Amino acid sequence: MAGKEEVSFAHAADNARPFKSHRYDVFGVKIERSLFLYGELALWGFIALESNPEVTGYCERPIVIDEIKPRRVVDFWVRSHSGEELWFFLRPSELRWTEQEFPPTPAFDAWAAAHNLSIRLHTPESLGIHSLHLRNWGEIIRYLTANLRYVDAALLRRVSEYSRDACSIGNIQAAFSQDDPILVRTAIFRLLHTGALIGTDLGSSRLGLDSIVRPT
């Protein structure tokens, strides 16, 4: 939008651990760095961001809103092909708020509007936490974190060229029997991660050799 200022966030503005919250240490494949997440909802939000090929960047806890007492941290800044958003994971006391009313601070609302940042409110239900889709993507992300560095461009290209029709992960691995099966599977997952392939049954079946992938 003309006249709007762009912003970008690379690191958390607040790394303080909320009282009694569990800390998750993860690696963001898209942003190529480690990050600390506090609480289960933040973990599932991270998986949702990594699983969506439309999302090109994000940052955890990028802004602290001091006007709210107690102060409120923005949970994620998200950049996608359609624009930029600020994600809030709603606490029980905040469930009455709508995206037009939250956060209840006119100054922050004006700042977000000036920078073309849309407000998005999320609950466990809206994120679909514990869904089979996100559980499968949690496994994909762990695979990428551990093995992507060992997958070269040539293997990615060969797997992509082979996967021009819908086929199972097991069939693709069998076609590349001379290659390390872990790296072949990682290449498949990387193509899913970038949106070059689609997993047709990731939301309905557990990830495995029978899972079907197809080109976008």
Q: What is the DSSP string of 152-202?
A: -HHHHHHHHHHTTS-EEHHHHHHHTTTS-HHHHHHHHHHHHHHTSEEETTT
* Same domain, yes or no: 100 and 149: no
| 17 within a domain of the structure (yes/no) | no
* Same domain, yes or no: 82 and 143: no
1 pLDDT above the threshold of 70: no
pLDDT of residue 66: 86
* Same domain, yes or no: 122 and 149: no
pLDDT averaged over every residue in the chain = 92
Mean pLDDT across the stretch 88-100?
81
pLDDT of residue 208: 97
pLDDT of residue 184: 98
Supply the range of the domain harboring residue 50: 23-127
Mean pLDDT across the stretch 143-162?
97
* Same domain, yes or no: 143 and 66: no
20 pLDDT above the threshold of 60: yes
Mean pLDDT across the stretch 28-50?
96
pLDDT band at 182 (very low <50, low <70, confident <90, very high): very high
pLDDT of residue 5: 57
| 3 within a domain of the structure (yes/no) | no
Asked whether the whole model's pTM tops 0.85, one would answer yes
* Same domain, yes or no: 120 and 152: no
pLDDT of residue 4: 53
pLDDT band at 2 (very low <50, low <70, confident <90, very high): very low
Q: Which residues pair with 72 in a beta bridge?
A: 65
pLDDT of residue 98: 77
